[in-house]
Structure 1
Amino acid sequence: MLIKRKKHGFTLLEVVIALAVFGFLIGGLMGFLPWGVQGVGKVREQSIAYGLVDAIEIELERMGFSLVESSTKRLEGMYNPADPPIEASEKFSLLLVSTKEGGSVSFEQVVKEQDQSYLNNPENKQEGENVDDLKKDFGGLINFNSTTLGGSTEPVSLFGFNEQDVTRAPFSHRWIPESDRYFLIKITQFPFGHRHQHHVSNGYLALEVDIQWPYKVPVPPDDFRRVPERFRSHFRLPIAISR
Structure 2
Amino acid sequence: MKQMNTRLKKGFTLIEVVIALAVFAFLIGGLLGFLPWSVEGVSKVREQDTAYGLVDGIQIELERMGFSLVGAGTHRLAGMYSAFDSPRESGTKLDLLLVARRSGGQVAFEQVVEEASLAEMNSDQLEEGANQDLLTKETGGVVYFNLTENQEPVSLVGFDDSQKEIYPYSTRWIPEEERYFLIKCSQFPLEHRHQHHPSNGFLALQVDVQWPYKVPDPSSDGGFRRIPMKYRNHFRLPMAITR
Both proteins in one fold, TM over 0.5: yes
* 8 Å CA contact retained: 1:187, 1:210: yes
Q: How does 1:52-67 map to 2 (within 5 A)?
A: 52-67=54-69
- Matches for 1:46-57 after TM superposition, within 5 Å: 46-57=48-59
Taking the TM superposition and a 5 Å limit, the aligned residue runs for 1:1-243 are: 4-5=4-5, 6-7=7-8, 8-119=10-121, 121-148=122-149, 152-220=150-218, 223-243=223-243
Q: For 1:215 and 1:4, locate their aligned partners in 2 and report how far apart those are by CA, in whole Å.
A: 75
Q: Do the aligned partners of 1:91 and 1:113 also contact (CA within 8 Å) in 2?
A: yes
Letter in 2 for 1:89: G
Distance change (3 Å), C-alpha of 1:171 and 1:234:
same
The 2-side partners of 1:80 and 1:23 are apart by 77
Cα offsets for 1:159-178 (capped at 9, x unmatched): 11111211121111101111
* Structure-1 separation of matches of 2:42 and 2:160: 38
1:165-208 CA distances to partner (integer Å, 9 max, x unpaired)? Answer: 11121111101111110000000011112111111121111110
Report how far residue 2 of structure 1 moved.
9.4
Q: Structure 1 regions of 5+ residues with no counterpart?
A: none
Between the aligned residues of both structures, percent identity stands at: 60
Q: TM-score, normalised by structure 2?
A: 0.94
Aligned AA (1:132): D
1:172 is aligned with what amino acid?
A: S
- The answer to whether the Cα contact below 8 Å between 1:118 and 1:124 also exists between their aligned partners in 2 is no
TM-superposed CA distance for 1:38, in Å, is 1.1
Once the two structures are superposed, what CA deviation does each residue of 1:93-115 show, in whole Å capped at 9, x if it has no partner?
Answer: 00000011110100000000111
SS in 2 for 1:60: helix
Query: What is the CA RMSD across the aligned residues, in angstroms?
Result: 1.5
Offset of residue 223 of structure 1: 1.0
Per-residue CA distance 1:47-66 (angstroms, 9 max, x = gap) = 11100000000000000001
8 Å CA contact 1:80–1:137 kept in 2: the answer is: no
30-39 vs 213-222, greater mean Cα deviation: 213-222
* CA distance in 1 between partners of 2:12 and 2:128 (Å): 67
Contact residue 97 and residue 105 of structure 1 kept, 8 A? yes
3-state DSSP of counterpart to 2:183: strand
- C-alpha distance in 2, partners of 1:199/1:139? 17
The one-letter code matched in structure 2 to 1:185 is I
TM-score (norm 1): 0.94
**One-letter amino acid of the structure 2 residue matched with residue 40 of structure 1:** V
Uncovered stretches (5+) of structure 2, i.e. residues with no partner: none
Task: Count the aligned residue pairs.
Answer: 239
Partners of 1:219 and 1:225 within 8 A in 2:
yes
